[in-house]
Amino acid sequence: PMNTFLELSLIILLATAVCAVVRLLKQPIIIGYILTGILIGPQVLGLTGSESSINAFSQVGIAILLFIVGLGLSPKVLKEVGKPSLSMGLGQVVITAAFGFILAAILGFSQIESLYLGMALTFSSTVIVLKLLSDRHDLEKLYGRISIGVLLVQDVTAAVVLIFVSAFSNGNVPPTSLLLLVVKGVGITGLLVLVALYILPRLSTFFARSQEYLFLFSMGWGLGVATLFSFLGLSVEIGALIAGVTLSVSPYNQEIAAKLRPLRDFFIILFFVYLGSNMVVDSLLGVLFPALVLSGFVLLFKPLAVMILSRFMGYGKKTGFYVGISLAQVSEFSLILVLLGIKVGHLGNSVLSVITIVALVTIAVSAYLITQADALYVRASSYLGIFDVKHAAKEVDSLDAYDVILFGCNRVGYDFLKIFKELGESFLVVDFDPDVIKVLDKIGVNHRYGDAEDGEFLDELGLAGAKMVVSTIPDFDANAFLVTKVRQMNKVAIVILLAHDIDHALRLYDLGASYVILPHFVGGHFAAMLSKKHGFDAGSFAQERDKHIEYLRERKSLGHVHPRV
């Protein structure tokens, strides 16, 4: 038999080739992962000799995925979701689960299988929807914000369902044992929340001083809490999710998520490969018809249910249409739920084959629907009059978008911060220093902790809608990366950067900078302008001197230090 290293290498190489074809067909790469799993399975190439190793890696992938989902479920975000998304999310879950259960029962599935399938069909893929909406630059539009809100509600619902199912991980659990598990779960969650609120904030500055240690701490916290939940008889999956939720209140949650995504993507490949390898190919013909019927249900009924709910929430037909097609697929949670059902003995592999086919079909079709949404709406608009309302909310950008984004708030950045506050523009400050983040939080300035050279982090900042981007970061490579990223998404924004070298400044101009600050030249230029303005008026220079001394003392009190030459 092949050793684990050789087997994993062949799987990754095969996945690379399959995903290249999937990319050429402009389909989500997850489809390539699942197809790779089918190919390496025992009934095709038979490369799963080390199945236990692949299963272990896939478990890590699921844990990291749920940990990142938890990082986005902060109380603040859930509050921002608002009543419309909450009502729409809960309504869609209840309606889809009920009709999905009935349809599965009609197709011949048992009651317990129908219950699992009904719940699995309700969830939509947060990963895929966020990626496709980000590609369309629609995350800040009304329908994008509602879609994200509904997905958050679905994620919370999925978490509750996973907690309930995980309680049966040891077979039929007596009511007393179930109550004990609930008490354990609530108790450890409460303890973790207290740690997150009162202990971690005191240590977070220490963690954040080193990007490597922040990454290591995040991994240790997520997997450690997941292991603790497993030790207490609860599921690893729900432990990882709650670990993320407890860190979601940290100012560094988005940077942690951005750092973990590449690791998640690697391990999640093996999760979907493992999923595909467990499909029973011989029985595919037997489950193909019900799988296609359920796929049609997801692609047609779910958007219809969302549009009806959207209509009652007071949104127009366009918003309802866009939200509906955004949610027309099943989720990673759907697959995890079915796998958990198999683990506790409720389901057989045939149900896994059904939900995997549904995932393949709905993810592929919904990707096309989302990317072609504008053209599809033009064609369908005349038939959607029943969903229109007289005074619908306009499909406009969210007010959460920022006009100005400032990278770096020390020394040079401080002056920009004062000007932006005086102008009253909506602005966001991004900084890498945990001490600066603390100060910004204390004075009530919108801020994010993050790395200007992290592409995924930058994708979440709304650069496409910014009117001005300013970087006072002294590093040339960081500024070159930033201006290139901005120009990919936004051709018209004013981009002001910092450089300490003339050649670097000229290269930044070539990359698309609107203006490059060279501090030493700017200082000399400013002094020359003062001489021109005041001439030989000693009194005016005395006033400038007093203002400058006051300014320098203010900067010194903030801990700002002028670089030594």
pLDDT at 382 over 60: yes
Enter the DSSP assignment of 405.
E
Interatomic CA distance for residues 59 and 63, integer angstroms: 6
Q: What average pLDDT does the segment 28-36 reach? A: 77
Task: Give pLDDT tens digits for 243-265.
Answer: 888 887 777 777 777 778 777 77
The CA distance from 515 to 185, in Å, is 55
pLDDT tens digits, one per residue of 434-462: 777 777 777 777 888 777 877 777 877 77
Q: What is the CATH number of domain 4-386?
A: 1.20.1530.20
pLDDT-above-90 percentage for the chain = 8
Q: What is the mean pLDDT of the chain?
A: 78
**Residue 158: phi, psi to the nearest 5?**
-60, -40
* pLDDT at residue 465, rounded to an integer: 80
C-alpha to C-alpha distance for 100 and 357, rounded to whole angstroms: 16
Share of the chain above pLDDT 70, in %: 79
In which residue ranges of the chain is CATH 3.40.50.720 found? Answer: 404-517
Four-residue CA torsion sign, 305, 311, 314, 316:
positive
Tell me the C-alpha distance between 284 and 295, whole Å: 15
Choose from 85-94, 279-288, 448-457 the range with maximum mean pLDDT: 85-94
Write down the pTM of the prediction.
Answer: 0.61
Least confident range from 59-63, 194-198, 269-273: namely: 269-273
Q: Is the pLDDT of residue 78 over 70?
A: no
With the CA atoms of 135, 136, 139 and 140 taken in that order, what torsion angle do they form, in degrees rounded to the nearest 10? 140
| pLDDT at residue number 290 | 92
Q: 371: how many CB neighbours lie within 10 A of its CB?
A: 14
The answer to whether 320 touches 311, Cβ cutoff 8 Å, is yes
pLDDT above 70 (res 356): yes
Report the interhelical angle of 317-326 vs 373-380 (nearest 10°): 130
Instruction: Select the more confidently predicted residue: 177 or 212.
Output: 212
| Residues 199 and 208 sit within 8 Å (Cβ to Cβ) | no
CA dihedral 553, 554, 559, 563 (to 10 degrees): -60
Strands (E), 191-271: none
Strands (E), 284-437: 404-407, 427-431
**CA-based nearest residue to 121, from 312, 287, 357:** 357
The Cβ of residue 564 has, within 10 Å, a number of other Cβ atoms equal to: 4
pLDDT in tens, 183-214: 777 788 788 878 877 787 777 667 777 777 88
**pLDDT on residue 89:** 86
Residues of the chain with CATH 1.20.1530.20: 4-386
What is the C-alpha separation between 214 and 230, in angstroms, rounded? 24
CA distance 289 to 103: 13
At 395, the pLDDT band (50, 70, 90 cuts) reads: very low
The pLDDT-based confidence of 117 (bands split at 50, 70, 90) is very high
pLDDT single digits (tens) 500-513 = 888 888 888 889 88
Higher-pLDDT residue of 415, 110: 110
How far apart are alpha carbons 329 and 363 in whole angstroms? 5
Please give the pLDDT value at position 396.
42
330 with 355: CB under 8 angstroms? yes
pLDDT value of position 164 = 75
Which homologous superfamily does the CATH classification assign to the domain defined by 404-517?
NAD(P)-binding Rossmann-like Domain (3.40.50.720)
